[in-house]
């Protein structure tokens, strides 16, 4: 055995025996070189080998840390499944719970672990506001006609260019600017289904999808969803054989709340299945830019050959939530969505559209995104390490590949609504699992937001929630 292989095996053994815990920093390369009296090159090769095994992970300018995957105490993503996956379509009524939760997040001094929104501290508000002010001084941009569907030509062009930069050529004439992704999703759903229709969704699913279904008087059927690979295509196929599915709604990249990245082959398989059955699919891509890997993820839209994918996006999660600018690329349903946009809200505010277009053209959007991705990835690791250390035995969690939320399964005795109330009494918000389903399958699950820069306050809040969960589990 070579020296670097022996060092790698020795360190992995120490991790397995609990000497190093998930999130712990291992000795620096220089320290390890001195301790073991071997060359720095040998240590680096050992650490790289452990990194390739998924045992260690490197953090720029910080060193090497024990990976959360390396010591999950037998916890696997497969375990993060509902106790009773929904088998039948159901009326949707989660809006009151969500509204109550969102209001609590606005409480003064509340720690926003339950927030669905990214922390705004990393957003370039000053630059965007300067562009907005400059646009506002131009009388030529004031007219309503400049904001009529499909939207500002300048912004449409920048959106199309962004997709091209990420490896997908799109027809700019397909893009319709909307009031955030929420409106895009609602318009697309109205375009493909009618009240009473059954819509297939992931389980768990982001509650904005359930809101759209509820608002349209439709029914939701939850499809088994793998916590690392996304909606299970075979399960969906069986449902299609027995129920009249009008449409499917999915979030294949960094899904909220699970955070998974659906593999390319499964994306292709899903698109092919739905196209064969002539079922449109609404793709929510609001987190696509927030990846932790080396390259931008593919989309369902990129595998669409029949125009059956209605792709929705937004700048609210990656640039600014204040301006509420999103878009839809609805494929063969483009004209219907544009008509519905006109009938529903007439226009989308033109000054925010032009301000964002100016920023995209002039101000280094990719540089801004790299900074956000780096911060979110580091904060995700910190939060996972804290949950592993301070939450009760039997707790399991997702392993997000992007985005800014962590999905946590607590011991079965824990009622997430009770935990939500207890945390709120202490000035901390969490996202109870009940919001992410039309069934009672996730009553002992919670979602936490790690987008807020790490601080003693955030750390203490996580410790407090862990202790409260432990008390509820007794």
Write the DSSP string, 200-222. Answer: EEEES--HHHHHHHHHTT-EEEE
Please determine, for residue 211, whether its predicted confidence score (pLDDT) is greater than 60: yes
Global pTM reads 0.80
pLDDT score of 83: 40
Which domains occur in the chain, in start order? 3-71 (1.10.10.10), 78-121+367-473 (3.90.1150.10), 124-365 (3.40.640.10)
Counting beta carbons within 10 angstroms of the beta carbon of residue 431, is it exposed (0 to 12), middle (13 to 18) or buried (19 or more)?
A: buried
Q: If pLDDT is split at 50, 70 and 90, which confidence band does 424 have?
A: confident
Please determine, for residue 86, whether its predicted confidence score (pLDDT) is greater than 70: no
Q: Cα-flanking dihedrals φ and ψ of residue 408, to 5°?
A: -125, 130
Give the least confident one: 250-254, 272-276, 342-346, 404-408: 342-346
Please determine, for residue 200, whether its predicted confidence score (pLDDT) is greater than 80: yes
pLDDT score of 95: 61
> Kind of pairing, strands 219-226 and 90-91?
antiparallel
Cα 327 → chain centroid: 18
How many Cβ atoms are within 10 Å of 94's Cβ, its own excluded? 18
pLDDT score of 76: 41
Separation in Å, CA 449 to CA 251, 404, 408? 18, 6, 11
More confident residue, 378 or 19: 378
Distance CA 41, CA 57 (A): 18
* Average pLDDT of the residues in 268-287: 98
Please determine, for residue 422, whether its predicted confidence score (pLDDT) is greater than 50: yes
Report the candidate in 63, 66, 62, 59 with the shortest Cα–Cα distance to residue 11: 66
């Amino acid at each position: 055995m070579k020296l670097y292989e022996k060092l790698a095996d020795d360190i992995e053994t120490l991790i397995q025996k609990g000497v190093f815990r998930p999130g712990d920093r291992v000795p620096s390369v220089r320290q390890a070189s001195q301790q073991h009296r071997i060359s720095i090159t040998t240590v680096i090769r050992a650490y790289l080998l452990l990194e390739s095994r998924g045992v260690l992970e490197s953090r720029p300018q910080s060193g090497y840390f024990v990976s959360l995957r390396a010591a999950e105490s037998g916890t696997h993503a497969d375990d993060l499944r509902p106790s009773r996956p929904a088998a039948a379509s159901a009326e949707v009524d989660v809006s009151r719970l969500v509204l109550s939760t969102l209001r609590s997040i606005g409480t003064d001094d509340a720690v926003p672990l339950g927030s669905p929104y990214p922390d705004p501290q990393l957003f370039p508000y000053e630059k965007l506001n300067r562009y907005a002010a400059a646009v506002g001084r131009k009388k030529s941009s004031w007219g309503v006609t400049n904001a009529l569907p499909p939207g500002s030509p300048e912004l449409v062009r920048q959106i199309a260019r962004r997709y091209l930069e990420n490896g997908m050529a799109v027809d700019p004439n397909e893009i319709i600017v909307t009031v955030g992704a929420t409106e895009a999703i609602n318009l697309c759903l109205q375009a493909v289904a009618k009240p009473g229709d059954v819509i297939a969704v992931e389980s768990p699913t982001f509650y904005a999808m359930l809101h759209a279904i509820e608002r349209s008087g439709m029914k939701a059927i939850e499809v088994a969803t793998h916590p690392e690979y996304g909606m299970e295509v075979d399960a969906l196929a069986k449902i299609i054989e027995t129920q009249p599915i009008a449409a499917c709604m999915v979030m294949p990249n960094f899904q909220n709340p699970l955070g998974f990245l659906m593999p390319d082959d499964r994306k292709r398989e899903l698109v092919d299945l739905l196209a064969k059955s002539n079922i449109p699919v609404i793709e929510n891509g609001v987190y696509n830019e927030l990846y932790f890997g080396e390259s931008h993820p593919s989309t369902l839209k990129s595998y669409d050959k029949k125009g059956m994918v209605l792709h929705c996006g937004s700048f609210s999660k990656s640039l600014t939530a204040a301006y509420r600018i999103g878009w839809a690329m609805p494929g063969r349903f483009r004209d219907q969505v544009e008509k519905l946009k006109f009938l529903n809200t007439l226009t989308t505010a033109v000054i925010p559209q032009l301000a964002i277009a100016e920023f995209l053209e002039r101000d280094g959007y990719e540089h801004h995104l790299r900074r956000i991705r780096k911060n979110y990835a580091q904060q995700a690791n910190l939060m996972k390490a804290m949950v592993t250390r301070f939450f009760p035995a039997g707790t399991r969690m997702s392993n997000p590949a992007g985005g800014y939320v962590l999905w946590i399964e607590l011991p079965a005795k824990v009622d997430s609504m009770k935990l939500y109330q207890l945390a709120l009494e202490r000035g901390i918000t969490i996202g109870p699992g009940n919001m992410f389903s039309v069934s009672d399958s996730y009553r002992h699950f919670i979602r936490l937001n790690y987008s807020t820069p790490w601080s003693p306050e955030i750390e203490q809040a996580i410790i407090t929630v862990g202790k409260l969960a432990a008390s509820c589990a007794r």
